[in-house]
Every structure is written in structure tokens, then in C-alpha cells.
Chain A
Amino acid sequence: GQQVMQIPQYQHVQEGEDFTTYCNSSTTLSNIQWYKQRPGGHPVFLIQLVKSGEVKKQKRLTFQFGEAKKNSSLHITATQTTDVGTYFCAGFRSNYKLTFGKGTLLTVNP
């Protein structure tokens, strides 16, 4: 079945440093979603990418969808302590079933 892999599993940065997490799928994805889960919280939707090569920005966050629609990345510029949490990518296996990666836990040292 479809596998969604994320690296790194953990990332610790100093406040102000940049951060990137990568997501790879074993199969082509129709689209990909990104969620953020704060410690002790629940996943919160960040964005959905649909088109091959798509790039979307949300303030300091930049999301990319690969040309082959099998990989994606999330880049945060100048991290802040409020960015702490686990970032998940998720791809659709059908028109409703999401497969989540294991996530990247980001910690930020103030």
C-alpha cells in the first residue's frame, strides 16, 4: 500500500534558524496536505497542494509539491518558539482516505 515517509524525525533549531522537513510517497499523489500538531494538541490543517510543481507561501512557511507529485517539502524561515510542534504530511489513498507520515518534531531553543 501507499507509504508516506518523512525526514527528519526530529529537528532542534535555535530561534531564528531555518527549518525544512521532507515528505516522500511511494506512489503518485493526487494532492498532499500538511498539518501541524502542537505538543498535547490535535492536528491542525495548514495547506493543501494539488498541482505538480506547486509552491505556496503562508508568511514564513513555504510549501512545495514535486514535479512528479511524489514528494513535498515544508520550509520555515527564521523559526520562532511558536513554531514548535510536529509537522505531518498526508496524502490521499482514495478520494477520502488520508495516509499520514510519521511527522517531524520541531523544537526551538529561544
Chain B
Amino acid sequence: AQSVTQLDSHVSVSEGTPVLLRCNYSSSYSPSLFWYVQHPNKGLQLLLKYTSAATLVKGINGFEAEFKKSETSFHLTKPSAHMSDAAEYFCFSGGYNKLIFGAGTRLAVHP
């Protein structure tokens, strides 16, 4: 069965330090994987997507993610956190009629 697991419900970092948001997936085929960001009282916005091209994917706002098939992971990273990065982040696995979101990771950024 297809599934997505976000390993941390909350992550807290200091401004200027690296960000790591973890996502593992389970799929019987090579999935399409996405990261979305949701700011308070807003809809979701696409950060980046992996669709079986390059395994290292660069997104908006300095975020990137690496697809690792051997680890079934698609972790989201950013070298230096900014206050405006505070939001909820969702890992998402796309499949025909099987669109699976992770439970979300809330990122807090402290001065």
C-alpha cells in the first residue's frame, strides 16, 4: 500500500541554522513526491517536486530535497532558516487516484 510518513510533527530551529524535515514513503512503484508549505490560514503552496528525473531537487525559497530510493526517503532541507520559513510542511506522494499527504511537520524558527 502507498503511504507517506513524516517523522517529526514539530521541528524548532534558530534563525540562520540548517533545516531538516524528514519524509519516508512506501510505494510499490517509483512515486512522484512533492513538498508543500502551508502558512497560517492559507492553502498549500508547492515547494518542489520529484518526478524521476534528477534525484536532488531544488525548490523555491532555498529549499531542496533528495530522493533516496535505497532509504525510501525524500527529506527536505535548507542551509539557513529564515523567520519567514515558519509554517507547516507536508510531504505528498502522487499516484493515479492515490494522492497521499503526510500528517505534516510544523516548523518553528526562533531569533
Asked if A and B bind, the verdict is no
Chain B contact residues, CB within 8 Å of chain A: none
